[in-house]
């Protein structure tokens, strides 16, 4: 939306609404003679004559301005500018009150005219020049009257038209509308000012993509003046279209056309909506016809030109019945003209984009690239089609990094667009395969490619093309995930009952082959071959595919050790295609694995005859010679590969280095050349690592060289990465273990050797067994060393080195056994026998001729004789060692027997102690139970006796008989009887006393239980010590009248009543009875009972009751028993 949209297409430009006065149709010019000349649009004369007339009569400046307006309406723009020129107006009369306002009007009208001219200018430079002159005029008007509303309104629209001054325009529009900013000026109540200011604000909201707010402002304008111009409906239609309400937008455009049928913007917008947002074919045709009709009347309207060109372009691509070239040429002519007439960058961007499409379709990539670039530079933030096309042409021009940059811009605006995601994923995947890239960049590009393709596949799970691209990407660095993706692709084909393409099956087989799942790979190749064989047409390409898949199938058979089947397939391929040298090469490899070196060399020679530069055949030929020990011949083959290739082959470099390392291991070598040979090998390995820093075989060879030189730390650094990257390579494990052995890390070396034996099935490798024995020998574990040497001798019984090592280790082991203080007689005898056998074996080696011993360079016959002499010397002392061992065995047996006797004695003692402790615990529990029962029974009896005594009448003078009360005459009851108390009161008192006694007894019972369950020290702390006299007085007071003077311990069923059975007795109080006494409770009870029966027949002596002090004395003497002694006994 621009200046003309706001004012209407037929706006008067610089003329404001308030000037639309009928007086302007005829301007009155007062003369000095008093006459008046009236000029209107019909009788306008030459402006110079009019100026002379105005000057000679000293006419006011306002008349000059009104006359200029008449010339403008008449279309006489030169006269208009001549009258408004400040130089021309020097003769005008300006000495009146509204002079300044008329000066401002003159400047504003001239500036508005310049703005109109600049907006119509096609040249950017000319346009800027017009705008610059308008700016100068508006600035001059500001100096006259800055806050005039008409002036501010015109200046605001000028800022809006410039495009980059929307904030200034908004401030000025708000100033016109907002009363608070007027600074005392009159409010803009006139609709002629309010509505244009509101429309300017709506334009700003539209430019800021705030379409709802812009729509509200336009609606408000319409409510304020329903008869407003068609431009308001046009703005409403634009907002509705942007909000997606196309039906209402069509209505708004239609209404605008009803108000102003010549409004090209409304007609073009309506036609575009009919073309692009309609499912009705007739309405679409109507829109196209409307554009064609508009083109006849408005050929310079860029919107019409762009959409017509787009229509012709699409029709040329979709309608095959039309003349494609003719339509494209029409589109190009329209677009060329649209580029020249477009007034803003948005329209210009669209025109350049369509031109880029045209050249793209014509195959003119460079021209398309140039127009796409211009369109992308001119496009708004949401118009990303030019960037998409620019990225496509960058791909065609192989500018992949620039293409990625452009598609990233598109993706930022449309993050879920599957086409962009798919293209970006493919681009990142391609760029990750560039040479000499840092690993970090490669991993980052692969990560992005994977992320974009996975997101595209998630958005479109049914798009097989995306899944295939993702699988192709993943198979480069993530084989497992690639297999899963291919499985998803196959499932989708099967779900749609579509045949699986053979390429998919072949790729699956290759991935399974890389994953070493050869059975599954074989199944995939068989399925692929069946699909290819069942095809209807057999062309050369299809036959070649069948041969390739058959070759892959044979490779699987070869990996599965089905050499016969693989050989049959290779020969079948060669029979049909003798030039297929890959099959011939694999035949040579099969012969090599079988040990048929001659057949293998012949196969490789045939391959080299067909292709002299076949590197693999030369390398395999050299490998066979290397295995046969022909090191010089092998080196020549490897060097031939190095000299014939432009870039050094890393495999040839490594194998040549291996030749020099093998020379260093020969026994009959010239040792003076060792350093030279080692340096050559090391240079070759370093060169291989420069070609490929991840060459593990070069690292392994370099590690071997450093280990031979004694630089074990460097060797370990080389072996570490090799072991991590190819964990199934046994040599690096063995060499790492050798380094550990040389570094005196014997336990670690043993563990590594055992891992190699178990992991790689090297149980019959004598070198590994010997190395393990060596490590155990260094650790002093001679028996373990002998165990592994026995295994080595079973594999190579004639190997003198094993026999020598066995003899030396046996000497060490037997010497340790004979000198050991723990060796038994049987072990000593075994050691003596082994020494004898070893001595004989070493004597045999000593007596061997030199030619038999010479191959074993580490064996000396002299040393064998010395070791045999030591073995024989120890054997001669066998009786001494055996006798010493026998004596130790006898002493050991006696010691064991004594230990057994002592052990049994201790066990019996522990059993007796445990039994005694158990008995004591049982006795303690029984005594506690007896005390509790005794105390409870005693309290019950005391309570019962108290109740009986209270119920019994008192006797006079302490007699046993109840004194009879004299009978009152007339049976009169005296209130003073029984201490003057009522019988009911006495009965109630008895009841209360009985309750109190019961509560006290319960408390005592509980205290007794608590005392009985605590330890002896607790009893002593809680107990209040009393003298013997106090205890006796207390007992006499408690049992007065109830207990006779004799010590009796009665059973639990005794009673204090004289009428109770004869087997029941009174029970005195027993204090602090020691439960630790050796006598049982039953014996104590019997003794007490017997003493009681004797005391009944004898005269009752005076009794003493045990006190706490007596009990403590008894405890100190360990003789505390519960008893009552008489005074006579104590005497």
Give the SS3 label for residue 1103. strand
The whole-number pLDDT of residue 792 equals 94
181: pLDDT strictly greater than 90: no
950: pLDDT strictly greater than 70: yes
Lowest mean pLDDT among 177-181, 339-343, 679-683, 1087-1091: 1087-1091
70-79 mean pLDDT: 86
pLDDT tens across 895-948, in order? Answer: 999 999 999 999 999 999 999 999 999 999 999 999 999 999 989 888 888 878
Query: Quick one: DSSP state of residue 60?
Result: B
Q: What pTM, to 2 d.p., does this model score?
A: 0.56
120: pLDDT strictly greater than 90: no
424: pLDDT strictly greater than 70: yes
The whole-number pLDDT of residue 984 equals 63
C-alpha 492/C-alpha 484 separation (Å) is: 13
List every span in the chain annotated with CATH 1.25.40.10: 415-496
Mean pLDDT, the chain, integer: 80
Long-range CB pairs of 200-204, under 8 A, 24+ apart, other chains included: 200/6, 200/153, 200/156, 200/157, 200/160, 200/169, 200/173, 201/170, 201/173, 201/174, 201/177, 202/235, 203/1, 203/5, 203/6, 203/160, 203/235, 204/160, 204/166, 204/169, 204/170, 204/173
pLDDT tens across 452-495, in order? Answer: 999 998 988 888 888 898 898 888 888 999 999 999 999 999 88
1031: pLDDT strictly greater than 80: no
169-182 mean pLDDT: 69
Residue 192's pLDDT band (cuts 50, 70, 90): low
977-991 mean pLDDT: 59
More confident residue, 729 or 1090: 729
888: pLDDT strictly greater than 50: yes
C-alpha 194/C-alpha 899 separation (Å) is: 122
Cβ distance 586 to 606 under 8 Å? no
The whole-number pLDDT of residue 998 equals 67
- Quick one: tokens of 1096? 């009944």
Lowest mean pLDDT among 64-73, 137-146, 737-746: 137-146
Q: Which residue has the tokens 């308008």?
A: 134
The whole-number pLDDT of residue 1051 equals 38
Residue 959's pLDDT band (cuts 50, 70, 90): very low
Cβ distance 268 to 291 under 8 Å? yes
- Phi–psi pair at 1103, nearest 5 degrees: -100, 150
Identify the burial level of 813 via C-beta atoms within 10 angstroms of its C-beta, where 0-12 means exposed, 13-18 middle and 19 or more buried.
Answer: buried
- Report the share of the chain in percent with pLDDT over 90: 35
Cβ distance 515 to 483 under 8 Å? yes
The whole-number pLDDT of residue 180 equals 37
- Report the share of the chain in percent with pLDDT over 70: 81
Closest to 815 in 3D by CA, of 738, 859, 873, 775: 873
pLDDT tens across 831-865, in order? Answer: 999 999 999 999 998 898 888 887 777 788 889 99
More confident residue, 538 or 212: 212
The whole-number pLDDT of residue 779 equals 93
Distances 190 to 186, 225, 596 between C-alpha atoms, Å: 11, 11, 111
Closest to 389 in 3D by CA, of 364, 416, 368: 368
Q: Which residue has the tokens 């009879």?
A: 964
436: pLDDT strictly greater than 90: no
pLDDT tens across 1051-1096, in order? Answer: 333 333 434 333 333 333 333 333 333 444 444 433 433 444 343 3
C-alpha 9/C-alpha 909 separation (Å) is: 126
The whole-number pLDDT of residue 943 equals 86
Lowest mean pLDDT among 199-203, 444-448, 545-549: 199-203
The whole-number pLDDT of residue 978 equals 44
Topology of domain 415-496 in CATH is: 1.25.40
The whole-number pLDDT of residue 558 equals 94
Residue 81's pLDDT band (cuts 50, 70, 90): confident
The whole-number pLDDT of residue 952 equals 66
pLDDT tens across 509-559, in order? Answer: 999 999 999 999 999 999 999 999 988 777 888 889 999 999 999 999 999
Identify the burial level of 887 via C-beta atoms within 10 angstroms of its C-beta, where 0-12 means exposed, 13-18 middle and 19 or more buried.
Answer: exposed
pLDDT tens across 563-607, in order? Answer: 999 999 999 999 999 999 999 999 999 999 999 999 999 999 999
* DSSP H helical ranges for 36-123: 47-56, 61-74, 77-84, 99-120
868-892 mean pLDDT: 90
Lowest mean pLDDT among 388-392, 443-447, 704-708, 989-993: 989-993
Closest to 109 in 3D by CA, of 85, 125, 143, 145: 85
């Amino acid at each position: 939306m621009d200046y003309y949209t706001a004012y209407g297409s037929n706006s008067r430009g610089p003329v404001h609404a308030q000037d639309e006065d009928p007086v302007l149709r005829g301007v009155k010019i007062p003369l000095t003679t008093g006459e008046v000349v009236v000029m209107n649009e019909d009788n306008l004369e030459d402006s110079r004559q009019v100026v002379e007339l105005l000057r000679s009569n000293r006419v006011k400046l306002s008349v000059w301005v009104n006359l200029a307006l008449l010339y403008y309406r008449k279309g006489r723009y030169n006269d208009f500018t001549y009258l408004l020129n400040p130089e021309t107006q020097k003769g005008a009369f300006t000495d009146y009150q509204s002079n300044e306002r008329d000066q401002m009007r003159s400047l504003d009208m001239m500036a508005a005219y310049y703005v109109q001219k600049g907006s119509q200018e096609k040249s950017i430079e000319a346009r800027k020049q017009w705008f610059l002159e308008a700016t100068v005029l508006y600035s001059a008007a500001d100096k006259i009257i800055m806050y005039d509303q008409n002036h501010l309104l015109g200046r605001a629209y000028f800022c809006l038209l410039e495009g980059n001054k929307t904030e200034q325009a908004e401030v000025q529009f708000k100033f016109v509308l907002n009363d608070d900013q007027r600074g005392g000026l009159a409010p803009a109540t006139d609709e002629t000012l309010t509505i244009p200011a509101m429309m300017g604000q709506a334009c700003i909201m539209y430019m800021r993509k705030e379409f709802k707010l812009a729509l509200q402002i336009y609606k408000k304008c319409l409510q304020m003046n329903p008869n407003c111009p068609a431009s308001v409906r046009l703005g409403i239609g634009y907002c509705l279209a942007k909000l997606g309400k196309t039906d209402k937008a069509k209505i708004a455009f239609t209404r605008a056309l009803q108000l102003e049928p010549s409004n090209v913007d409304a007609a073009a917008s309506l036609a575009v909506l009919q073309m692009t947002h309609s499912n009705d074919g007739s309405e679409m045709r109507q829109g196209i016809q409307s554009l064609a009709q508009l083109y006849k009347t408005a050929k310079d309207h860029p919107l019409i030109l762009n959409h017509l060109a787009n229509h012709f372009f699409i029709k040329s691509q979709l309608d095959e019945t039309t003349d494609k070239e003719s339509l494209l040429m029409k589109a190009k002519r329209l677009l060329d003209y649209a580029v020249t007439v477009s007034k803003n960058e948005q329209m210009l961007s669209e025109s350049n984009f369509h031109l880029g499409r045209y050249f793209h379709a014509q195959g003119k990539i460079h021209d398309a690239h140039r127009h796409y670039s211009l369109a992308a530079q001119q496009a708004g933030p949401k118009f990303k089609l030019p960037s998409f096309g620019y990225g496509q042409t960058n791909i065609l021009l192989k500018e992949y990094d620039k293409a990625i940059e452009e598609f990233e811009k598109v993706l930022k605006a449309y993050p879920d667009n599957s086409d962009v995601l798919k293209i970006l994923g493919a681009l990142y995947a391609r760029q990750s395969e560039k040479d000499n890239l840092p690993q970090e960049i490669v991993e980052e590009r692969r990560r992005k490619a994977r992320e974009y393709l996975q997101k595209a596949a998630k958005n479109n799970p049914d798009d097989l093309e995306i899944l295939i691209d993702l699988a192709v990407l993943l198979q480069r660095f993530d084989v497992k995930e690639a297999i899963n993706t291919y499985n998803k692709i196959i499932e989708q084909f099967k779900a749609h009952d579509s045949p699986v393409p053979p390429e998919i099956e072949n790729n699956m087989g290759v991935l399974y082959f890389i994953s070493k799942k050869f059975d599954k790979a074989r199944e995939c190749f068989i399925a692929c071959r069946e699909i290819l064989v069942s095809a209807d047409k057999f062309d050369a390409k299809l036959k070649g595919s069948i041969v390739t898949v058959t070759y892959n199938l044979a490779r699987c058979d070869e990996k599965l050790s089905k050499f016969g089947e693989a050989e049959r397939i290779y020969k079948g391929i060669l029979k049909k295609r003798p030039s297929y040298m890959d099959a011939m090469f694999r035949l040579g490899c099969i012969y090599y694995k079988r040990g048929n070196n001659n057949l293998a060399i012949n196969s490789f020679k045939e391959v080299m005859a067909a292709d002299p530069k076949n590197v693999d055949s030369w390398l395999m030929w050299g490998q066979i010679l290397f295995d046969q020990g022909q090191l010089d011949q092998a080196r020549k083959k490897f060097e031939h590969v190095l000299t014939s290739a432009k870039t050094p082959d890393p495999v040839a470099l490594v194998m040549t280095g291996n030749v020099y390392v093998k020379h260093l291991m020969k026994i009959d070598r010239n040792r003076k050349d060792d350093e030279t040979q080692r340096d050559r090998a090391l240079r070759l390995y370093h060169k291989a690592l420069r070609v490929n820093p991840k060459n593990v075989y070069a690292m392994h060879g370099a590690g071997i060289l450093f280990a031979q030189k004694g630089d074990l730390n460097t060797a370990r650094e080389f072996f570490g990465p090799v072991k991590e990257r190819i964990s199934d390579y046994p040599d690096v494990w063995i060499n790492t273990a050798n380094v550990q052995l040389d570094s005196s890390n014997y336990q670690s070396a043993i563990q590594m050797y055992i891992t190699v034996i178990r992991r790689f099935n090297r149980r019959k490798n004598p070198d590994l067994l010997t190395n393990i024995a060596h490590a155990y020998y260094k650790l002093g574990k001679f028996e373990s060393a002998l165990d592994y040497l026995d295994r080595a001798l079973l594999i190579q019984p004639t190997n003198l080195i094993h026999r020598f090592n066995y003899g030396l280790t046996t000497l060490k082991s037997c010497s340790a056994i004979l000198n050991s203080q723990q060796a038994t007689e049987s072990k000593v005898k075994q050691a003596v026998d082994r020494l004898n056998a070893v001595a004989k074996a070493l004597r045999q080696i000593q007596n061997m001729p030199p030619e038999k011993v010479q191959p074993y360079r580490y064996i000396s016959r002299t040393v064998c004789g010395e070791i045999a002499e030591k073995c024989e010397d120890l054997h001669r002392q066998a009786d001494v060692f055996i006798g010493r061992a026998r004596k130790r065995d006898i002493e050991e047996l006696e010691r064991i027997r004594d230990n057994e006797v002592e052990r049994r004695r201790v066990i019996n003692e522990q059993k007796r102690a445990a039994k005694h402790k158990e008995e004591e615990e049982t006795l303690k529990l029984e005594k506690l139970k007896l005390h509790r029962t005794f105390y409870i029974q005693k309290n019950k009896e005391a309570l019962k006796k108290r109740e009986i005594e209270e119920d019994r009448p008192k006797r006079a003078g302490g007699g046993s008989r109840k004194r009879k009360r004299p009978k009152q005459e007339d049976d009169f009851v005296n209130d003073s009887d029984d201490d003057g108390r009522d019988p009911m009161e006495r009965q109630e008192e008895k009841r209360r006393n009985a309750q109190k006694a019961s509560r006290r007894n319960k408390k005592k019972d509980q205290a007794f239980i608590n005392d009985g369950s605590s330890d002896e020290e607790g009893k002593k702390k809680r107990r209040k010590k009393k003298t013997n006299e106090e205890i006796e007085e207390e007992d006499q007071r408690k049992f007065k009248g109830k207990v006779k003077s004799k010590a009796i311990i009665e059973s639990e069923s005794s009673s204090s009543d004289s009428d109770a059975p004869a087997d029941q007795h009174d029970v005195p109080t027993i204090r602090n009875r020691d439960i630790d006494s050796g006598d049982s409770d039953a014996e104590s009870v019997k003794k007490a009972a017997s003493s009681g029966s004797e005391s009944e027949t004898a005269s009752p002596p005076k009794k003493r009751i045990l006190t706490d002090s007596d009990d403590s004395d008894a405890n100190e003497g360990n003789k505390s028993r519960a008893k009552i002694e008489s005074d006579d006994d104590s005497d």
